[in-house]
């Protein structure tokens, strides 16, 4: 399972935590928190692409092994 990151382009719409509460949680400041438990979820390439497209500002990225 890939790990996701959220970059500074986040506009805090809450779409990620609404659409994928298994992967994201909304922090007190409205900024999303990537849940570590999501790393254990098996996903197809298509499902990964869907997660990346959830964010209207394009702030969700697939983390590289270095991140």
In the chain, where the domains are located? 4-62
**Could you give the C-alpha distances from 13 to 18, 27, 39, 48, in angstroms and in order?**
9, 12, 23, 20
Q: What is the mean pLDDT of residues 31-59?
A: 92
The yes/no answer on whether domain 4-62 falls in CATH 3.40.50.720 is no
| pTM of the predicted protein model | 0.86
Residue 4's pLDDT is 93
**Could you give the C-alpha distances from 41 to 10, 23, 38, 47, 54, in angstroms and in order?**
23, 9, 5, 11, 17
Q: How confident is the model at residue 41 (pLDDT cuts 50, 70, 90)?
A: confident
């Amino acid at each position: 399972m890939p790990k996701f990151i959220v970059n500074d382009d986040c506009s805090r719409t809450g779409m990620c935590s609404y659409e994928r509460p298994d992967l994201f949680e909304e922090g007190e400041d409205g900024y999303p928190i990537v849940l570590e438990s999501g790393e254990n979820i098996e996903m197809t390439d298509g499902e990964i692409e869907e997660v990346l497209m959830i964010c209207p500002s394009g702030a969700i990225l697939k983390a590289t092994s270095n991140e």
